[in-house]
Amino acid sequence: MEIASGPSTDSSAARTIPIDSSSILDEFKQQNLPACKPVLKPSYVITTFFLLGFIFLPIGLTTLCASRTVVEIVDRYDSECVPGAFRGNKVSFIKDSSLPKNCSRILKVRKHMKAPIYIYYQLDNYYQNHRRYVKSRSDQQLLHGLKSSNTGSCEPEESNNGLPVVPCGLIAWSLFNDTYTLIRGTKKLSINRKNIAWKSDRDRKFGKQVYPHNFQNGTLIGGGKLDPNIPLSDQEDLIVWMRTAAFPSFRKLYGRIEEDLKADDVIVVHLMNNYNTYSFGGKKKLVLSTSSWLGGRNDFLGVAYISVGGSSIILSIVFLLFHIKIPR
C-alpha cells in the first residue's frame, strides 16, 4: 500500500463554484432570498378576524339595505291560466292552437314602487343549460345571417324544408312567447320593451342586417315567432332569450314600466298564455320588481356579508378568550 499518496487536490478542480456574493442569482442558489415569514400567531389570527368583521359588517348592512328597498311582486300563473276543463290535461290545451290563450290576473301593489319597474318572466325547471340546448345555436349566423354557412351546431333545427333557418338552433326555436299587458284602473300601463338586452349583445352579437328567415315554418312549432322585417339586433326578446340562463330556474327581462306604482294600486294583467311549460311541469311566473344600485332583490350577499362579519367577530372573541386562558 502506498501510504505516501495523499488525496489529489487538483484533479477535481474542474468543478468550481463561482462565488459572486452580491448577485440575486447567488442569493437564489444559496436559498437566501429575502423573505417575510408570516407566522400565524394567535394575535394575528385574532386581529385578522376582528378586522374582517369590522369591514364586512358595514358592507353587509349596506348591501342588505339596498336589497330590502327593492319591492317585488311575483305571480305564478301557469296553472291558473288553464281553463277548468283542461286542468287535467294542460298539455293538450296548450298544444291546441284553436283555443283562446288569453288570461287575466290581478296584482295588488303592497308598497310604493318607484319607476322604473322591471317586468320579468320566470321559468322553473327549464334546462336552458342542457348540453344539447346550449350548443344548439350559431353565433356566426346570428351576426352574419345567411352569409354564414357555419350552422352545423344548430342541429336539429338547422334547416327546414331544405332551406336554412335564421336564427337556427333549439334556443331560438324555443323562444318564449307569452305576452303581458298591464292595466291600472282603466289606463293601460305602457311597457317599454326597448333596451332590455345587454348593449354588447345588441351591437355585436346580433347582426343589424340579419332578418329572420324560414323561422318557425315547420310542422313543429317550438315557441314564439319573429317578425321577418325586423333585424335580429332589434329583436330584443330573442336576444334576451338567447343569453342562456345558467340554472334551471331563471328570470328574463320582459320590459319596463316607466311610472311609479303606488301602494294599494290594483293592476290587471292581460296575458297570452302561449308558451308550453306543461309538458315538462315547468312553472311560469310574472315578476314586477323595482331595482336598487345593486340590482334586483337578493338578500343573499347582504346576509352573507353580515354573517361572515358577525362570525368573524365572534371567532376573534373566542380566540381571544382561549388565548387569555391558555397562553402559549
Partner 1 sequence: MSGGWERLKGSRSRTTRDSSFHTPAPSRTVTLGRVQPQAPGHRTIYCNDREANLPVRFKGNSISTTKYNFLTFLPKGLFEQFRRVANCYFLLISILSMTPISPVNPVTNVVPLSLVLLVSLIKEAFEDWKRFQNDMVINNTLIDVLQNEKWVALPWKKLQVGDIIRSFCRGAFCHLLVIGPDFLTEFLMLLCHLIVSTFSNSNFAAICYHLSFIGKIEFGNVKKDGFFPADLLFLASTNADGTANLDGETNLKIRKALERTWDYLTPDKATEFKGEMQCEQPNNSLYTFTGNLIFQKQTLPLSPNQILLRGCSLRNTEYIVGAVIFTGHETKTTLAKGNESMGILNMGKVMMNSMNVPSKRSTLERKLDKLILALFATLFIMCLIGAIGSGIFINRKYYYLSLDKAVATEFNPGNRFAVAALTLFTLITLYSTIIPISLYVSIEMIKFIQSTQFINKDLHMYHAETNTPALARTSNLNEELGQVEYIFSDKTGTLTRNLMEFFKCSIGGEVYGSGVTETELGGAQRNGIKVQEVRKSSTAIHEKGFNFDDHRIMRGAWRNEPNFDACKEFFRCLAICHTVLPEGDESPEKITYQAASPDEAALVTAAKNFGFFFYRRTPTMIHVRESHVEKMGKIQDVAYEILNVLEFNSTRKRQSVVCRYPNGRLVLYCKGADTVIYERLAGGNDDLKKVTRAHLEQFGSAGLRTLCLAYRDLSPDTYESWNEKFIQAKSSLRDREKKLDEVAELVERDLILIGSTAIEDKLQEGVPACIETLFRAGIKVWVLTGDKMETAINIAYACNLINNDMKQFIISSETEAIREVEDRGDQVEIARFIKEEVKKELKKCLEEAQHYLRTVSGPKLSLVIDGKCLMYALDPTLRVMLLNLSLNCHSVVCCRVSPLQKAQVTSLVKKGARKITLSIGDGANDVSMIQAAHIGVGISGLEGMQAVMASDFAIAQFRFLTDLLLVHGRWSYLRICKVITYFFYKNLTFTLTQFWFTFQTGFSGQRFYDDWFQSLYNVIFTALPVIIVGLFDKDVSASLSKKYPELYKEGIRNVFFKWRVVITWAWSSVYQSLVFYHFVTISSAGGKNSSGKIFGLWDISTMAFTCVVITVNLRLLMMCNSITRWHYISVGGSILAWFLFIFVYSLLRENVFFVIFVLMSTIYFYLSALLVPVVALLGDFIYQGIQRCFFPYDYQIIQEIHRHEPDDNTRAGLLEVGSQLTPQEERSYALSQLPRELSKHTGFAFDSPGYESFFAAQLGVYAPQKAWDVARRASMKSKPKTPKRN
Considering only residues 237 to 256 of the shown chain, the ones binding partner 1 according to CB under 8 A are 240, 243-253, 256
- Give the C-alpha separation, 136 to 182, whole Å: 34
Closer residue to partner 1 in complex, CB, 77/120: 120
What cell does 36 get?
Answer: 417575510
Q: Does 218 bind partner 1 (CB under 8 A)?
A: no
Q: Is 133 in the site for partner 1 (CB under 8 A)?
A: yes
The CB-of-22 to partner 1 minimum distance in angstroms stands at 11
Nearer to partner 1, 272 or 294 (CB): 294
Q: Are 191 and 185 in contact (CB under 8 A)?
A: no
Q: Which of 75, 78, 157, 237 binds partner 1 (CB under 8 A)?
A: 157
The CA-based diameter of the chain, rounded to the nearest angstrom, is 122
Report, in Å, the least distance between residue 36 CB and partner 1.
5
Residue nearer to partner 1 on the CB measure, 39 or 85 = 39
Is 305 a binder of partner 1 (CB under 8 A)? yes
Identity of the residue, 273 or 289, whose beta carbon is nearer to partner 1 in the bound complex: 289
**Three-class secondary structure of residue 270 per DSSP:** strand
Interaction of residue 229 with partner 1, rule CB under 8 A: no
In three-state secondary structure terms, 202 is: helix
Half-sphere exposure of 296 (CA within 13 A, CB side): 13
Q: Is 74 in the site for partner 1 (CB under 8 A)?
A: no
Q: Using CB under 8 A, which residues numbered 78 to 97 contact partner 1? A: none
Torsion from C-alpha of 131, 133, 134, 137, nearest 10 degrees: 140
Q: For partner 1, give the closer residue by CB, 11 or 186.
A: 11
Side chain identity at residue 20, one-letter code: D
| 159-160 and 102-108 strand pairing | unpaired
Among the listed ranges 100-108, 160-168, 264-272, 303-311, the one in contact with partner 1 (CB under 8 A) is 303-311
Asked if 54 interacts with partner 1 (CB under 8 A), we say no
Q: Is residue 279 at the binding interface for partner 1, with CB under 8 A as the rule?
A: yes
Q: Which of 148, 160, 177, 289 binds partner 1 (CB under 8 A)?
A: 289
Q: Which long-range contacts (CB under 8 A, 24 or more apart) does 249-252 make?
A: 249/122, 249/123, 249/124, 249/125, 249/126, 250/122, 250/123, 250/126, 250/128, 251/120, 251/121, 251/122, 251/287, 252/120, 252/121, 252/122, 252/123, 252/176
Residue 294 has φ and ψ, to the nearest 5°, of -95, -15
**Rule CB under 8 A: is residue 111 a binding residue for partner 1?**
no
Q: Nearest approach, Cβ of 143 to partner 1 (angstroms)? A: 8
Judged by CB under 8 A, the stretch of 80-88, 160-168, 169-177, 207-215 that binds partner 1 is: 169-177
Q: Under rule CB under 8 A, which residues in 3-42 are in contact with partner 1?
A: 3-19, 21, 28-42
Residue reference for cell 345567411: 146
